[in-house]
């Protein structure tokens, strides 16, 4: 039973075949909000017991252009909410509450965007004798990172390192800037680095085929 619970909590209850379900649920959550201005759980999510498990989740929206330009990304790093809540609320927040972008206002605009859903494993503190050893503990493209330091925190999903071709040190430097810190903040004793993995389900075209990213 313990192993089964671990599999559910780390996201392994979902497989590549579930990608369309997860992405469709994110899309429908946003569409429902655009219609009603209320956050509600799609019907297909309510009847699936896997969405009752506590899981971290991020929803990323991208433009359908050559660069796959970011249009919104919000989520919950810790498994403190049921997936039905974290997926639905992350999707709506990515669409209308990401302060880096204007809110999505129409179904037509949503229909032209790519939707990506990341189901996260619980973050684990990276323990090292020296901060200089941190890069050796990180696998870019597989590990996502969280930095916690005196004046804030920041998170980068695993796929970000792959998209930009970063090595472990570059990933850590960019994580620092995401956290509002200097790029070399990860070298400062007391700075905490956490890592996690994710199942990343991405549309190849708007409302099109959904694929599970290789890690």
Q: What is the pLDDT of residues 2-61, one digit of tens each?
A: 343 443 445 557 888 899 999 999 999 999 999 999 999 999 899 999 999 999 999 999
Q: What is the mean pLDDT of residues 202-214?
A: 93
What class is the 124-196 domain?
alpha beta
The residues spanned by each domain of the chain are 2-121+198-212, 124-196
pLDDT tens string 169-182: 999 999 999 999 99
Handedness of CA 94, 97, 100, 105 (dihedral sign): positive
- Note the residue count of the chain: 215
Whether the CA torsion 203, 208, 209, 210 is positive or negative: it is: positive
Q: Indicate the class that CATH gives domain 2-121+198-212.
A: alpha beta
- Tokens representing 28 are 């429908």
CA angle at residue 154 from 21 to 140, to 5 degrees? 70
Q: What is the DSSP letter of 17?
A: G
Average pLDDT over residues 97-125: 97
Phi, psi of 84 (to 5 degrees): -60, -35
- Looking at residue 11, its pLDDT comes to 55
Query: 2-121+198-212 and 124-196 share one CATH topology?
Result: no
Determine the pLDDT at residue 15. Answer: 85
Instruction: Report the C-alpha gap between 146 and 75 in whole angstroms.
Output: 13
Distance, CA of 75 to CA of 86 (rounded, Å): 7
pLDDT, one tens digit per residue, over 113-124 is: 999 999 999 999
* pLDDT at site 16: 84
């Amino acid at each position: 039973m313990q192993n089964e619970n671990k599999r559910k909590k780390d996201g392994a209850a979902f497989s590549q075949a579930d990608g369309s379900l997860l992405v469709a649920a994110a899309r429908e959550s946003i569409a429902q909000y655009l219609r009603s201005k209320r956050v509600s759980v799609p019907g297909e999510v309510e009847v699936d017991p896997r969405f009752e498990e506590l899981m971290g989740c991020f929803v990323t929206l991208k433009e359908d252009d050559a660069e796959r330009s970011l249009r919104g990304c919000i989520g919950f790093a810790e498994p403190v909410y049921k997936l039905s809540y974290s997926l639905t609320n992350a999707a709506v927040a990515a669409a209308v509450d990401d302060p880096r972008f204007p809110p999505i206002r129409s179904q037509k605009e949503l229909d032209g965007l790519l939707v990506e859903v990341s189901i996260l494993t619980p973050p684990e503190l990276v323990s090292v004798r020296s901060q200089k050893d941190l890069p050796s503990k990180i696998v870019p493209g597989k590990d996502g990172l969280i930095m916690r330091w005196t004046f804030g925190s920041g998170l980068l999903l695993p796929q970000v390192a792959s998209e930009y071709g970063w090595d472990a040190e570059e990933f850590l430097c960019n994580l620092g800037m995401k956290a509002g810190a200097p790029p070399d903040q990860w070298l400062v004793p007391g700075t905490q680095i956490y890592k996690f993995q994710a199942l990343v389900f991405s549309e190849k075209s708007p409302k099109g085929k959904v694929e599970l990213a290789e890690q």
